[in-house]
Structure 1
């Protein structure tokens, strides 16, 4: 039986000519037979890749052999099959979309909250002078979060800076931030420090590492992940389910995408409602004639779009003009 793994990782480290790096890195991943999604930016790497244990080891060895990424901390999950069906490696302005692109303002390599190992986080989280802050999006913390955590009404991490004012009431306390794997906390904790919060910490390795090292104690529900698995169990100590079906209110941890491609909302839906609603979040979405076929999973592969030659030509022209300037 083939042994597969899924790797979750990130590394804030400057990359020169990051666009070219992304192209070369994609070919390297393909040569190993890996599948997954990697974001490359001038500020570093953020990825989830999946493949055989041997391929994953070769990948980790190669990343650690590069001095720029030697500090990368991989979260490793054993899986029955690869967690992706394609391999993507793309250049973007940031490795996690926050809108905080200016390294003179926010640079995780210079200042972030104090990194807490899972055991340290567990020991501190219930103290009276501590606030546990979830910096993830609504659909993520709705399906699972730490007990008594403060959650924010945001649809995307780029909205986090706008919510800082709502946290002013906690300035006299220790702020313990957490997210899936740790990457969002790097900028979230740095921004909190910049805005005058003095005692700021972050869960090193995020929820995933916390589950592996201390059994996920007091993490209620499941953890949303950005691959075919959608959600994973992390709590083996005192697990429970906190999410409910959007349509009937029944307790369920099953998260899907709305079958209406125009909507595509992330939401929780029980199996019974899934079949009744044909994977849609509402009756209005159910009426869309272009809905995707619901197969019980609620996970849909993106259909490749036709190549826009005119757009590519304009992008290349801008690069030439920029290089000549």
Structure 2
């Protein structure tokens, strides 16, 4: 067993005085020497944290001991080293930004699509009356996606509500949504139900759980993750690579962030183009005065704008 773990989780359950909770929770995470990123809102928690096995186990115990979060499911990865540099715990209006804060429209704590366990998703996904719907952003599904899935041209999840009219043609089908860990599907499926879609499902635990429990069969490519790994392997049954270099077009599984901090585009890029462009998405970005040193990974710790401007 490796010395470190990375935990991915979310929980839709109301939090009173959420801003104060976020401040207190940050102190608690730091006391365990955890690193990661947690979003706190009145509607719940959304986090990825990383640290020693002992610290992560203590963290999971603490979350489960709080009655509000007792049912929280953790997706656990063993890692060689912590997958973040710093610890952030921030209060926001939503734990995943949809732009829809009216709980009469969507409230995942009360109504959402039927949860499909990975084995049931595997059995159902190829049926003729089923549409597999990817609710993630472009840069995520360009790196990897389920075979025959419908992908949407969206830059952020907050663009998803605008796609509802385009999905109307599929109202007679069983729609199964999926995302990385399940959190976006809670809101996406709830919104579909609100707009009159009747047979709405979601992959419980997302791509990550599917990979762990069903071998990741027919997930093509790699799965984008929101830490310094940038991507992880999912498919142990019939793996393939579907992503292509943003610059030259050759097949590559490598995802980077552009080294220009004001661009920071999420792109797939081969090692040769990464070296030639110093980790940038274009020659224009290579001339930026605050160009970040490219070390081959394409991952950069975010620097506050106040520091960047000095």
Classify the TM-score, shorter chain: over 0.9
TM superposition outliers: structure 1 runs of 4+ over 4 Å: none
Deviations 1:179-228 (A, max 9, x none): 00000000000000010110000000000000000100000000000000
Bigger mean CA offset, 83-92 vs 295-304: 295-304
- Aligned: 1:135 with 2:131: no
Deviation at 1:276, TM superposition (A): 0.5
- Which residue matches 2:81? 81
Deviation at 1:283, TM superposition (A): 1.7
- Which residue matches 1:314? none
Deviation at 1:288, TM superposition (A): 2.2
Secondary structure of the residue aligned to 1:297 is coil
Cα distance in 2 for partners of 1:18, 1:274 equals 41
Cα distance in 1 for partners of 2:298, 2:109 equals 38
- Which residue matches 1:67? 67
Cα distance in 2 for partners of 1:102, 1:116 equals 26
Cα distance in 2 for partners of 1:130, 1:306 equals 49
Secondary structure of the residue aligned to 2:295 is coil
Cα distance in 1 for partners of 2:146, 2:121 equals 11
Cα distance in 2 for partners of 1:221, 1:103 equals 36
Cα distance in 1 for partners of 2:109, 2:233 equals 31
Secondary structure of the residue aligned to 2:161 is helix
Deviation at 1:298, TM superposition (A): 1.2
- Which residue matches 2:44? 44
Cα distance in 2 for partners of 1:51, 1:182 equals 22
Check whether the contact 1:258–1:298 (CA below 8 A) recurs between aligned residues.
yes
Check whether the contact 1:2–1:52 (CA below 8 A) recurs between aligned residues.
no
Q: Which structure 1 residue ranges, 5 or more long, are not aligned?
A: 308-325
Secondary structure of the residue aligned to 1:88 is strand
Superposed CA RMSD in Å reads: 1.1
Bigger mean CA offset, 98-107 vs 297-306: 297-306
**What are the residue-to-residue correspondences of 1:94-173 with 2, within 5 Å?**
94-173=94-173
- Aligned: 1:233 with 2:228: no
Bigger mean CA offset, 278-287 vs 51-60: 278-287
Secondary structure of the residue aligned to 1:283 is coil
**What are the residue-to-residue correspondences of 1:310-321 with 2, within 5 Å?**
none
Deviation at 1:127, TM superposition (A): 0.0
Cα distance in 1 for partners of 2:18, 2:147 equals 40
May I ask how many residue pairs the two structures share in their alignment? 307
Deviation at 1:81, TM superposition (A): 0.4
- Aligned: 1:285 with 2:285: yes
Deviation at 1:2, TM superposition (A): 6.1
Cα distance in 1 for partners of 2:56, 2:263 equals 35
Check whether the contact 1:177–1:201 (CA below 8 A) recurs between aligned residues.
yes
Bigger Rg over Cα:
1
Bigger mean CA offset, 43-52 vs 102-111: 102-111
Cα distance in 1 for partners of 2:249, 2:150 equals 23
- Which residue matches 1:313? none
- Aligned: 1:12 with 2:12: yes
Secondary structure of the residue aligned to 2:256 is strand
**What are the residue-to-residue correspondences of 1:23-42 with 2, within 5 Å?**
23-42=23-42
Cα distance in 2 for partners of 1:93, 1:42 equals 7
Cα distance in 2 for partners of 1:204, 1:22 equals 26
Deviation at 1:104, TM superposition (A): 2.0
Deviations 1:68-118 (A, max 9, x none): 000101000000000101000000000001111111221011110000000
Secondary structure of the residue aligned to 2:284 is helix
Deviation at 1:274, TM superposition (A): 0.4
Length-normalised TM-score, structure 2: 0.97
